[in-house]
Structure 1
Amino acid sequence: MLNDGLNVVISGDNSENQYVQVPIKKKDFGDFITNLLGQPENISGATAGTFEASHEWLVHLHHLIDQRIKQQSSSALVDFSAKLKYDMGPDRRITTIEGFLHFNEAKIVSTKSIAITWTYLVSFPNKPTPEKQEISLQLITEKTTTMSSELVGRTITTSTGMAKYSVSHTERTWGDDIASLLVREVDTIFEAETWFSKVAGFSVFVVALSMLAIGIFIPDYIEQLIRERERAEIFLSILPAGVALESLATNEKLNLIIKLLDPNNQLYIGQAWYKAVSFFVGIGLAAATLVIFSKENPSFILITKKDKELASKLKTTNNRHFIKQIISYALAVSAGVVGNYAYYYMNL
């Protein structure tokens, strides 16, 4: 007997089927069938970011949901399914809560996503028949593209992870409560975004734009420096030794200006190949800035042994790889600076 009204009947020791016996008055039977087949209201949402969800956390979530529902009203869990998608091999589907609670994957595979659905029959106060309520949660670690419901035509793409949830309900207060519980628990598995990470993200964007701007404008700046140095040498070679510019006559000053502006006296000619190389190096450094400093950790669903090994390996090697990337990036920037200085002195 479940909570004063809903009976779960097990068909036999050798059968995997189970049934729910619901006492319903004859006059209410039509409403009961309509509620089962009808379209209830739905609450749904999604959270993107980096998360780590273990099998223990999923079991904990089930117990929280089940306890909350049974505390509020007479209810019975009439259907349960959990579908796991792996990186290799076929998907696995679990159709009983007992099988999920004691699940242990023997295959050497990595979990890419899991979709869990709970279906309850709930007897609400002042309603003659139980009504179907459905709760679903999907965790995804693969690159996912979803359509935003608020901005038509805009897509949201994440390469780290995403959690989607929905609560189909016939009682609005009940649905809001279960959705709040679900969102609160899902938020605990995501990495929190701190003020430092927000500032760092904006700084990475500024640095990337700076690298691109430097690649575009540095050839003109180098060319300006070379021409100024060249004009200074021409000026000193034309101006008589020990004579101040102020002491020259007007016609002598005009002759000096004409010589300075005469293209035949300017030896430097801007090289198109240098501007092209600088432009593509700037693009490369901007892209490297975004890739290295904007990289986020992948998400994990810790169901199999391989999942736990990959997560542990990432934590131990992540800092080492990041240091190598920083050194490589610093060497690339240094090489660009040295190349520009070398070009400048070669053309003096």
Structure 2
Amino acid sequence: MSVLPAAVVFNPALPTLDTLRKIVAAAQKRAGLPETLWIPASFDNGGLPASVGNVLSKVSVVLVAGGDGLVRSVAEIIQGTDTPLGIIPMGTGNLLARNLGLPVVDRTKCVSIAFGKNHRQIDLARAELVGEETTTHVFSVMAGIGLDADMAAGASISKKKRFGWLAYVRPIVRSVAQNRQQEMSFILDDQPPVIFKAHTVIVGNCGTLTANLLLMPDAVLDDGLLNIVVLNPKYLSGWTHIWSRLAIGGALNQTKAGRRILDLAPEIKTLRYDQLRSVTITLKERQTVQLDGDSYGKINRMTVSVLPKVLTVKVPS
């Protein structure tokens, strides 16, 4: 039986590809695999070449060198297959890598993990977006309307390349200052519709953001559930309470005792949490939506449902 090679799907704009190729070549040699296939992402064609699916079905592991958006594109292709995904975090947020416990600042270790034997099956989510047309996408981190969608739409590729996650500061400040509250209808699983006003709605599997902000305390990558958080502060002071809770939650979440304190902490009225298997959100007015950090235009309605344990990812031991 022939040994299958690994493949690296990469963002061709990355400045350190020569170094990464050397790291991968060394790991490939140690693993006893044939020469690794290198597949550049084509951002004029939805992120990946049309033929990439056939290639990825014939490899031992797929390494993704890029950000959460590129990881999303590859996960959408290999979901439900036996092909595992290894992440080389080289994007702005790298949220899936962070929530998997990968050493995001050490690419050599991430490559070693990707060629290693430890893996984990995680959930994905399917989003049906209804706007001028209806499209369906799979994502691994989160989908959002409001603040995080404003962040994704307001931070250009060139700004993210130059400033990293600081490129999000200006769109965050603008979104908070405007504080647009919109009437929305929610259907959680099979429950009756609920209507109220909110600034931001986020549905996802990953609870921790960049800078160790804890957005969704109960989020687990493989529990068969999605998490939803609704932000509806009426005044600037409400945003202050939200940011304080996210920052404190991130610090407390690092230890068992801290998590116990977090469980006992009083609720903040401007933050609403829930867990579910599916949700339909209908907007009174069209809003921009983001999936895993990329803007997907304006929509009227979004339906998100969980896909339990359909993706195998390489993780630390």
Q: Taking structure 1 as the reference length, what is the TM-score of the superposition? A: 0.20
Looking at CA atoms only, which structure, 1 or 2, has the larger radius of gyration? 1
Task: Report the structure, 1 or 2, having the larger helix content.
Answer: 1
Higher relative strand content: 2
